[in-house]
Amino acid sequence: MKDVVIVGVGPAGISAAIYLKRAGMNPLVIGQDFGTLKSYTGKIENYYGFENPISGDTLIENGIKQAKNLDVEILLDSVISLDQEDGHFIIKTIQHQFTSKSVILATGKKRLSLSIPGFNQFKAKGISFCATCDGYFFRRKKIAIVGCGHYMINELEVLSQINKDITIFTNGHELIDDVDFPVVKSKIVKFVGEQKLSHIETEDGESYEVQGAFIAIGTPSSIDFATKLGVIIDKNNISVDQNYQTNIDGLFAIGDVIGGKLQIAKAVYDGMMVADQINNYIKHKI
Amino acid sequence: MKDVVIVGVGPAGISAAIYLKRAGMNPLVIGQDFGTLKSYTGKIENYYGFENPISGDTLIENGIKQAKNLDVEILLDSVISLDQEDGHFIIKTIQHQFTSKSVILATGKKRLSLSIPGFNQFKAKGISFCATCDGYFFRRKKIAIVGCGHYMINELEVLSQINKDITIFTNGHELIDDVDFPVVKSKIVKFVGEQKLSHIETEDGESYEVQGAFIAIGTPSSIDFATKLGVIIDKNNISVDQNYQTNIDGLFAIGDVIGGKLQIAKAVYDGMMVADQINNYIKHKI
């Protein structure tokens, strides 16, 4: 069992890892999707210490190399689920599974948005981001899962235990694995309904009746993990106390996901500060 | 009149300048002595974003260049005094004088210590760091000023208004300017006394009777400036409120001087955070 797993390889996660490592702990950092910073195409010029503007890509890569040079264990893999069991956490990636006494969520704040007509209109009116949270509401309904990768497969496993009338929409992509459910590969062109979602229309002219559509594209964000575990979310930020701990014992969050300034300097600071708290938590955990 | 002058060109001061500049203000940053970081001879490996360990020197220089690239005005000069007058601040450097509505102290925490026998023993028992604070207590006594540069000259001006029995000890260095007081160039080998300081002994075998010795070597620190202005100091940290403001309206402090973690990540964070407060302060100042 690990003492601490950090989900996210951006400034917050790596900064936490560096401080934990230097404090004598052995954090495991897992991440693949680099969140907002990686996708930020502009140059960064307000993070102290760089004579010339630096790209998000370069900074992320520097940070990963910096941690590796300090012998921090980094796994470049996607975390697809986070669960709790018997007082510890189970972290599933595409290839591996880990157990840990504590977890730091630091994946950044990117929340997927689809630029498809009707997407915003039917959010929480049929469109959901969490199979575990909302699956039960749709247990006798026709549902869709939108996605094509490991995260979709994971959400499908959850949903298929409570519902058999499931169609997978890959939205133009190839599915990574075989599934026992109908698959629609044509791109989605519209989410349709009156008060609530009732149909999905695709590029090939088809219209599919669905009451629920679960979005599971790419990899889940910290907010997704947190939501599933019952963490208090306030205005799309994970709520933490002054020690960066959520309402779930042993689950911490830092960086953009907890709100405040969405700045590298703040993410790095959070990483430094949470290290003390993790140390303290592990020391007192029975 | 400037809106804001930042004293210190280390991570805290430069980070504040970058954020202020990008928020549309025109901070003036003044500094020469780079404090603890510059004198830190080891390599820094825990500040996020650098693949390989970086020296304090290089980081400081990067930061100054970074700010200059953003057209921040930087004056590499020593601030030798900071005073208040008619609701604004007067900042004196060796070459210039500025007035400003607000000041951010960010000089780092280096406090000079002399490895001379008796130095620690007679601190506050004859040895003082502040002419303005303690000069009056020694107004009919024999006093020494230890130093050789602009800061010493500035302290001498203050002391010479209340005391004429002053000897300057350059501790082996050359004096930068002529003065109307006796000068001892021989190195100090011992501070001597019983309960309180009574003599200074020098390398050439002389012993000088003094009741007070004012230390004014190099440049004053933020703590020195703050002390003179009547700022509350707690355990050798400048006390600030949650907005980084001291008990003196318009006087802010960030970085190592306010305590907390003496880390670059924290200094940089402070710099980012204080920028909002300065903006807000200037906006509401009549």
Q: Give domain status of residue B117, yes or no.
A: no
Residues A263 and A193 both lie in one domain: no
In the prediction, which pLDDT does A139 show? 85
Find which of B9, B22, B34, B48 to mutate to test the A interface (most A CBs within 10 Å of its CB): B48
Residue B101 CB partners (closer than 8 Å, separation 6+): B1, B2, B3, B4, B88, B89, B250, B281, B282, B285
**Phi and psi for A129 in degrees, rounded to 5?**
-110, 10
Q: What is the pLDDT of residues A134-162, one digit of tens each?
A: 888 898 899 999 999 888 998 998 899 88
Quick check: B33 pLDDT over 70? no
Residues B136 and B56 both lie in one domain: no
Residues B24 and B160 both lie in one domain: no
In the prediction, which pLDDT does B40 show? 57
B216-244 average pLDDT score? 87
Q: Choose the final residue of a domain: B215, B248, B267.
A: B215
Q: Which residues of chain A make contact with B271, given a CB cutoff of 8 A?
A: 48, 265
Q: Which residues of chain B make contact with A255, given a CB cutoff of 8 A?
A: none
Q: What confidence category does residue A111 fall into, taking pLDDT thresholds of 50, 70 and 90?
A: low
- B47 interfaces chain A, CB cutoff of 8 Å: yes
Residue of A64, A97, A94, A69 whose CA lies nearest to A80: A94
Q: Give domain status of residue B120, yes or no.
A: no
Tell me if B66 and A52 make a contact (CB, 8 A cut-off): yes
Q: What is the pLDDT of residues A161-198, one digit of tens each?
A: 889 999 999 999 999 888 999 999 999 999 999 999 99
User: Rounded to two decimals, what is the model's pTM?
Assistant: 0.80
Tell me if B48 and A70 make a contact (CB, 8 A cut-off): no
Percent of chain A surpassing pLDDT 70: 95
In the prediction, which pLDDT does B112 show? 65
Residues A274 and A230 both lie in one domain: yes
B256-278 average pLDDT score? 94
Q: Give domain status of residue B121, yes or no.
A: no
Tell me if B268 and A45 make a contact (CB, 8 A cut-off): no
Tell me if A265 and B268 make a contact (CB, 8 A cut-off): yes
Q: Give domain status of residue A51, yes or no.
A: yes
Q: Which residues of chain B make contact with A264, given a CB cutoff of 8 A?
A: 48-49
- A97 interfaces chain B, CB cutoff of 8 Å: no
In the prediction, which pLDDT does A10 show? 93
Q: Which residues of chain A make contact with B69, given a CB cutoff of 8 A?
A: 45, 51-52
B217, B207 Cβ separation under 8 angstroms: no
Tell me if A50 and B70 make a contact (CB, 8 A cut-off): no
Tell me if A269 and B268 make a contact (CB, 8 A cut-off): yes
Q: What is the pLDDT of residues B75-134, one digit of tens each?
A: 998 888 999 998 899 999 988 999 999 999 998 876 567 889 999 999 889 998 878 778
In the prediction, which pLDDT does B96 show? 95
Q: Give the per-residue SS3 of A112-165.
A: CCCCCCCCCCCECCCEECCHHHHHHHHCCCCEEEECCCHHHHHHHHHHHCCCCC
CATH code of the domain containing B167? 3.50.50.60
Tell me if B271 and A62 make a contact (CB, 8 A cut-off): no
In the prediction, which pLDDT does A56 show? 87
Residue of A277, A131, A122, A279 whose CA lies nearest to A210: A122
Write down the number of H helices and E strands in chain A. 7, 19
Q: Which residues of chain A make contact with B261, given a CB cutoff of 8 A?
A: 272-273
In the prediction, which pLDDT does A54 show? 92
In the prediction, which pLDDT does A33 show? 58
Q: Choose the final residue of a domain: A192, A215, A238.
A: A215
Query: B86 lies in which domain range?
Result: 2-111+220-284
How many Cβ atoms sit within 10 Å of the Cβ of residue A2? Answer: 19
Residues A106 and A232 both lie in one domain: yes
How many Cβ atoms sit within 10 Å of the Cβ of residue A42? Answer: 8
Percent of chain A surpassing pLDDT 90: 67
Q: Which residues of chain A make contact with B52, given a CB cutoff of 8 A?
A: 66, 69
Q: How many domains does chain B have?
A: 2
The shortest C-alpha distance from A97 to chain B (Å) reads 28
State chain A's mean pLDDT as an integer.
91
Closest residue in chain B to residue A58, using alpha carbons only: B49
The shortest C-alpha distance from A36 to chain B (Å) reads 16
In the prediction, which pLDDT does A8 show? 93
Q: Give domain status of residue B233, yes or no.
A: yes
Residues A103 and A34 both lie in one domain: yes
A266-273 average pLDDT score? 97
Of the partner residues A18, A59, A265, the one whose CB lies closest to the CB of residue B46:
A18
Q: Give domain status of residue A118, yes or no.
A: no
